[in-house]
Structure formats: C-alpha cells, structure tokens
Structure 1
Amino acid sequence: MKSIISPVVLASVSLAQNSIIGLPTTGYTVTKGSNVTVQVQRLNSLTGSTEIAVVIGVSSCVSIACRPAGEVMGTILYQGPFDPQHHESSQPPYQNFTVTLPNLIAAGNAQINVARAALVGAGPFPYLETMNRTVVVV
C-alpha cells in the first residue's frame, strides 16, 4: 500500500509546483534583434520549493513543426538563477527576463522554450519542467 501512495503523493506535489509563461502571450509579434520580456510565473503552492535555475531558449518553427521544449531548447537566450517574487496580489510570484532575440532567426513562427529546475518538498526531490509559447518573428 505504501508504494502506491508514494507515487500519488509525489505526483500531486509535482503538479502543485507548476510554472507558466506569463509573457509573451501566444501569437505575440517579436522583431529580430530586439529585446523580449519573458515572464516565468511559479504558481502558488503550499509545498515548499527551492529554485535552482531557469533556461530560456528560442527555436524557429518556419520550415518544421515546433518540437516540445523537453526535446529541443533551441538557441539559449538565458540560463541562470530563478527567484520569483510577488509583485501584484492578483498574480502568482514571477520573474521577468529580458532577452535579445537573435538576428539570424527566420521570420515566421518561433517558439520560446523554458526549462525550470527546483528542489521540492521536505525531502527534497529534484523537479524539472518544460514549457513553451509560440510567437511570430518579423
């Protein structure tokens, strides 16, 4: 019985630690060579966590279909600490990252990819999640 309960508990704790990309919004138009704000939000949770890092990349989806961030991060735009803070009471804790879109990226659909690593729970155990957001490059 113990072995069945543990995976369920770990899964529910993991789900409670999810993050989302707040900015840019889906379909947002970005210009080659310009700065883009990527907002990573950590959803509120009762389970404690210690942030390790976040990685932000961009990949072109013009000639091929976009692949999940868990498979390809693309060109790395940022890698380093993640320290989400409360800014507005109506928003979960988040951190904004200003990254520069490469000049060489093809015009058309592209994907902002984010990977977040944390230690979760009292144990703690390692947690890695990936997410993405489709934007339009001009």
Structure 2
Amino acid sequence: MLHLFILAFLVASAFAQRCQIAAPAEWSTVAPGSNITVEVDRPMTLSSSQEVAVVIGFWACNGPCNETDVTQIMGNVVYSGPYSPQLVDAGFKPPYQNFTVTVPSHFVPGREVSLNVAHFTLIGAGLEPFLETLNITLNIGSA
C-alpha cells in the first residue's frame, strides 16, 4: 500500500511540473524571418523543483502537423538554454518566461509548422530528472 502512495505522489509531482506554451496561440499565423515571443508558463507547485533548461524549435510538417508525430522532433532549434520562470503577478498568471525567437526564413507560406518546446527540470526531495515535450501548430503566412 505504501508503494502505491509513493507512486501516486511521484506521478502527481511530475504532472504538477508540466509547462505549457501560453504564446503564441495555437494556429496563429507567423511570417518567415519574423521575431515572435514564445511564452512558457510553469504552474505553481508545492513540491520542490529546480528548473534547468528549455529548447525551442520549429519543424516544418509535410502536410497537416496532426498527422505527423512531432513529439520527439525539435527541428530548427532557435533557443537552447536556461529556463527561469518568474512570478510577475500572483493573481493573474503562473510563473513564466518569454523568449524572443526568429521564425526560420526558409519556411514556405501556406504550410503548417510545429512549434516545439522541450523542458527539463529536477523535481522532488531527491531532485529526480523530469523531461517533457510540448508542441503547438502554427501557420506560415507571407513575409
């Protein structure tokens, strides 16, 4: 019984650490070569954690992105480095960090791309490694 409690606690702790892409909105249209802001939110948590890094990339889908497994692909990496979300307004938003990145200029207008984020953190009393990948689909518009 104790093993089940510990397992449930570890699973709950891992899900509490999950980030989300708050901006841009899914299905937004972005232009090749343009700068966009990617906002990565991390919900408040009661368990201990130590943020390590995020990687942000774009992957040009061959057809609709929902028909391609983009969960393990980073594509064109536009940011790789520290992640240090800050609580700016406790009543309005969770802790977050904004990243200004450039949409690759070789993307073809009219196509879908996957905006991918890999998030690495250490969680719990023993600081166990936790890695997650997130993605949203964007449309490529005219430059």
Work out whether the TM-score is over 0.5: yes
Normalising by structure 2, what TM-score? 0.90
Query: Contact 1:69/1:131 (CA < 8 Å) preserved in 2?
Result: no
For 1:91, the equivalent position in structure 2 comes to 93
1:32-60 Cα offsets, whole Å, 9 max, x none, are 00101100000111112101100000011
CA deviation map 1:63-87 (0-9, x unaligned): 3645444311111010000000012
Q: Does 1:125 align with 2:128?
A: yes
Q: Is the 8 A contact 1:77 1:100 kept in 2?
A: yes
**Unmatched segments (≥5 aa) in structure 1:** none
In the alignment, the residues of structure 2 paired with residue 106 and residue 62 of structure 1 have an alpha-carbon distance, to the nearest angstrom, of 11
Deviates more, 1:59-68 or 1:109-118: 59-68
Runs of 4+ displaced beyond 4 Å: none
* TM-score, length-scaled by structure 1: 0.93
How many aligned positions are there? 138
Deviates further, 48-57 or 4-13: 4-13
Identity over aligned residues, as a percent? 39
